[in-house]
Structure 1
Amino acid sequence: MQNYDPKLLPASFVPFTASSAFKEKQRVLIPEKAKSQTVVFLSSIKALFDTLKITDGMTLSFHHHLRNGDYVFNMVMEEIKKRNLKNMHLAPSAIFPNNQVLSELIENGNVTDITTNYLNGPVAETIGKGLMKGLLIMDTHGGRARAIESGDLKIDVAILSAPAVDLKGNGNGIEGPSACGSLGYAISDLKYAKKVVLVTDSIIDSLKRVDLPCEYVDYVVKLDKIGDPKGIVSGTTKITKDPIGLKIARNTAKLLDELDFIKDGMSMQTGAGGTSLAVAQYVKEKMQDKHIKGSFASGGITGYIVDMLNEGLFEKLYDVQCFDLQAVESIKNNPAHLPMSASVYANPYDPEVIVDKLDFVILGATEIDTNFNVNVTTDSKGLIIGGSGGHSDTAYGAKVTIITSALLKSRLSIVKDKVTTVTTPGEDVDILVTERGIAVNPKRTNLLEKLAGSKLPLVPIEKLLETSQRIAGTPKRIELKDKVIGLVRYRDGSIIDLLYQYK
């Protein structure tokens, strides 16, 4: 599968060939960082920059567990701006709309390169206009862990928000006024960055649990406030009331039942969006009707999935990030609600990788083409509106990958002849469920055989494309500029697509 001209690929990168190609290579592990003998406590970001001598061209990494409520990333950006540092490479696990100060730093040449898993808001627009001097590299959640542990992503200083820190310099995410729950995306940074800094607003005598062990920590910065936990609820975390979304969710649950995935020991992952949560609701009802107990649910965890755990429908939860405050409270108090690192979650080379143990995953799509390639990185105009996150990771790992979406969004069909950007390859996408029909990837003959005789509205994906064009017409394909502004890096490190400056 080739969605771009390989001549445009920078020399140090390799093109994507297949989602299973990683099996042909050995895991690469650089040595973990030297253990710290003592942890130095500081009282400001300024003091941190002075002490560590942060200079032009360094790579700084961050996690995004406080999401839209994070203050630390912006404070560091302001310090870079004050010192007029140049050519900085930033490696946050995600960038949100509240990080708009970064746009100014990009335009001024303070920041020239960014590696991240997810990006939306003003910064995405700035990069999309071609205003960043270097490249944007967009990883998957598992791919970022792989990139760090292999040395592909070398981090000079990891600046990690830690809601609570003890007197030895251990940190966690479950205590303190800014508690955000799991710190799964920070673990690779902690182990492999040259220097590690915890930034906290709560220093206590001892921690209930250690997520960030002090032997990896060099500095702790104590601030008045590191963030607003209410900001972790970014987007929809409530079940949809939209009739179209509910119809899609009902049919998805029926489909899973007919495919015999709703059974004792089942494992699942759903997103935090309204339709995904509605799928969880209908799956829950079927589990209750059949007196079924699942083994685990995983991923980013919402209060709704916590309720399923508390009601005895799952044995445990594996949590890489908390999507709401109910999940934060649960991971603090329930021993069956387990934190996991991004590597254990989704790194293709991690021997314990959780995504490979999933029975099914429910995912969304901005676009899906007739070869079942999915785009969750850009919109149809080429503007960056997200990124893989765990999309590609879970799609590869789960036994069945289901995309749920309304057929039309803002009068535009989600089904295309060809997606604008490939995030997840079609070889790992099994079924598309829309309100106007369900399309099964024809390569999944085993699923089609199981569904023979089903009363569900099964149609070829080409038929869904025809239906959408009949309703909304055929949109003119948007022309993008030739300038490559970024790379979409698949979980194994290969480049699955390119990002272009939009007109």
Structure 2
Amino acid sequence: MNDLKRHGKAIKVYEGENKVLSSLEEAIDKAGVKDGMTISFHHHFREGDYTLNMVMAAIAKKGIKDICIASSSLGKIHEPLIEHIQNGVVTEIHTSGLRGKLAEFISKGGLEKPITIRSHGGRARAVEAGEIKIDVAFLAVPSTDAMGNASGIGANTQCGSLGYAIVDAHYADTVVLLTDDLKSYPNMPASIRQQEVDYIVKLEKIGDPEGISADATRFTKNPKELKIAENAAKVIRALPYFKDQFSFQTGSGGASLAVTRFLKDFMKKDGIKASFILGGISQPIAEILEEGLTDHLFDTQTFDAYAIESFRKNPNHHEISVSEYANPWSMGSVASQLDYVILSALEIDRDFNVNVMTGSDGIIMGASGGHSDTAESAKVTVIVAPLYRGRIATVVDKVTSVITPGKDVDVLVTERGIAVNPARKDILAILEKTNLPVVSIDALADAALKIVGKPDPIEFTDRVVANIEYRDGSMIDVIYQSKA
């Protein structure tokens, strides 16, 4: 690995008065988008993103084909990509996640070439290593000046951190900024700087900020999820890493986010502060900073309006790139300094492998995100999940798709008991001395089976529709075409 070098973009010399173009179509022409290129997007607007669909519609109208899309993630709002796949405009996809009709279409074999699924840190690694060579990055930014000093705060739209876009701006051969707020020069402080930007297009609207907090960032009132969250916080409190200046991250999902509320109460009772909190930042985390219970927030993606305001006004709410967040091939990511990470799961099996990607029917419905990045990096990885959802077991014999391997998972907290990975004898010895309901993972799997019964096996063809990479670039699993 010591012989590897970071990929770099070509040196260019700027000779114009400003970089603002008259239209998206002109930007596509100036950027030289042509058949077979790789273009990238970020997903800071999540289900409120407008720009990917606009760019792809303009590319398709020009008759350009065989495009590889390397987006940091894709959501339900990107359903129009189905038509572009069918018409040969899009032939390859690299992403962290897929949802909605696009995910179903690909799960059922709609794209000829398997997609590649990477974690957030794994994508940053792949871009920097040149494994993903981005020809043109189309990056939506809430504000920029005419030279390309761009921010996640604008007069019309706001998304806070631009952690994903920062990497693409640095490594893409050509960078096109799309904005709905063109500021006077200089637009400071800037997340993306002018020396990395080629062209700028002002659009009427780049996205809907309300879509940022959709789905994965919901706050739960479910009694079962709250019980899981409280017990997870008790597990964290019982272990020796819970002390003054500890660090943590909570993942997406109702129970995972709710852990924050209980941790805050325990921090107050025990008179301790966190040194930093990492991840996608939401209101409960921003409130901890405001109340003086942590010194720093490290933010690679801002999840709601409250957190965006915190990002705007609080100097200790720090924006970081996704490479700084969790790139495993670096001199040290922030994730490597985590004491605890609390993550959710669609499935977890007897070997503690976790699936956050495919549903019980084999259809893709989630995202790798930072799951495996933080699970491997943190001193203690806690998975929070119900024993079953509806009539579908969460604790199973074998997960449908492995996103995070069991070696990186330490504790599972369900409403029916807490299981500790046998490899973590130190944690087990501590928790067995508490009044927490510690059981084996096999006991939980057996209980789930008794309650919901043994499901019919999912039917797949032998055709691979997705390759799942671990954060270091190794292949960890594949997803086969669903017959559902």
Same fold by TM (over 0.5)?
yes
Aligned CA distance change for structure 1 residues 329 and 33 (closer, same or farther; 3 Å): farther
For residues 319-338 of structure 1, the aligned pairs below 5 Å read 319-338=299-318
State whether structure 2 residue 279 is matched by structure 1 residue 299.
Answer: yes
User: What do residues 139-160 of structure 1 show as CA deviations (whole Å, max 9, x unaligned)?
Assistant: 1000000000100001110010
2:135 equivalent among 145, 149, 156: 156
Question: For the residues of structure 2 that align with 1:482 and 1:158, how far apart are their CA atoms?
Answer: 34
Q: Which residue of 1 aligns with 2:14?
A: 37
Aligned CA distance change for structure 1 residues 360 and 42 (closer, same or farther; 3 Å): same
Q: How far 1:408 moved relative to its partner?
A: 0.6
* TM-score relative to the length of structure 1: 0.93
For residues 256-271 of structure 1, the aligned pairs below 5 Å read 256-271=236-251
1:362 equivalent among 342, 360, 383: 342
1:194 equivalent among 151, 173, 176: 173
The letter for the 2-side match of 1:79 is A
Q: How far 1:135 moved relative to its partner?
A: 2.2
State whether structure 2 residue 229 is matched by structure 1 residue 252.
Answer: no
State whether structure 2 residue 149 is matched by structure 1 residue 137.
Answer: no
Q: How far 1:25 moved relative to its partner?
A: 6.2
Q: How far 1:104 moved relative to its partner?
A: 0.8
SS at match of 1:268: strand
Question: For the residues of structure 2 that align with 1:421 and 1:146, how far apart are their CA atoms?
Answer: 22
1:342 equivalent among 300, 307, 322: 322
Question: For the residues of structure 2 that align with 1:107 and 1:231, how far apart are their CA atoms?
Answer: 27
Paired residues, number? 480
For residues 32-111 of structure 1, the aligned pairs below 5 Å read 32-38=9-15, 40-111=19-90
Q: Which residue of 2 aligns with 1:311?
A: 291
SS at match of 2:69: strand
User: What do residues 367-409 of structure 1 show as CA deviations (whole Å, max 9, x unaligned)?
Assistant: 1111101001111221111121000000000000011011011
Q: Is residue 239–residue 277 contact of structure 1 (8 Å, CA) maintained in 2?
A: yes
User: What do residues 424-459 of structure 1 show as CA deviations (whole Å, max 9, x unaligned)?
Assistant: 010000111000010000011111122232211111
Question: For the residues of structure 2 that align with 1:410 and 1:345, how far apart are their CA atoms?
Answer: 35
SS at match of 2:324: helix
Structure 1, unmatched stretches of 5+, are 1-23
Q: How far 1:37 moved relative to its partner?
A: 2.1
Q: Is residue 436–residue 464 contact of structure 1 (8 Å, CA) maintained in 2?
A: yes
User: What do residues 53-94 of structure 1 show as CA deviations (whole Å, max 9, x unaligned)?
Assistant: 311111110011111111110101111221232211001101
SS at match of 1:493: coil
Q: Which residue of 2 aligns with 1:167?
A: 146
Question: For the residues of structure 2 that align with 1:401 and 1:288, how far apart are their CA atoms?
Answer: 23
Q: Which residue of 2 aligns with 1:389?
A: 369
The letter for the 2-side match of 1:280 is T
The letter for the 1-side match of 2:36 is G
Q: Is residue 33–residue 216 contact of structure 1 (8 Å, CA) maintained in 2?
A: no
Q: Which residue of 2 aligns with 1:441?
A: 421
User: What do residues 221-272 of structure 1 show as CA deviations (whole Å, max 9, x unaligned)?
Assistant: 1111111111111125454221111111111111111113332001010124
Moved over 3 A (4+): 24-28, 236-239
1:380 equivalent among 360, 364, 373: 360
Question: For the residues of structure 1 that align with 2:13 and 2:134, how far apart are their CA atoms?
Answer: 17
SS at match of 1:191: helix
Q: Which residue of 2 aligns with 1:7?
A: none
State whether structure 2 residue 194 is matched by structure 1 residue 217.
Answer: no
Question: For the residues of structure 2 that align with 1:356 and 1:36, how far apart are their CA atoms?
Answer: 38
Q: How far 1:97 moved relative to its partner?
A: 0.6
Percent identity (aligned): 48
User: What do residues 311-348 of structure 1 show as CA deviations (whole Å, max 9, x unaligned)?
Assistant: 00100100000010111111111000000000000000
Q: How far 1:26 moved relative to its partner?
A: 5.8
**Root-mean-square deviation over aligned CA pairs:** 1.4
SS at match of 1:307: helix
Q: Which residue of 2 aligns with 1:494?
A: 474
SS at match of 2:269: helix
Q: Which residue of 2 aligns with 1:421?
A: 401
Question: For the residues of structure 1 that align with 2:13 and 2:237, how far apart are their CA atoms?
Answer: 52
Question: For the residues of structure 2 that align with 1:109 and 1:467, how far apart are their CA atoms?
Answer: 48
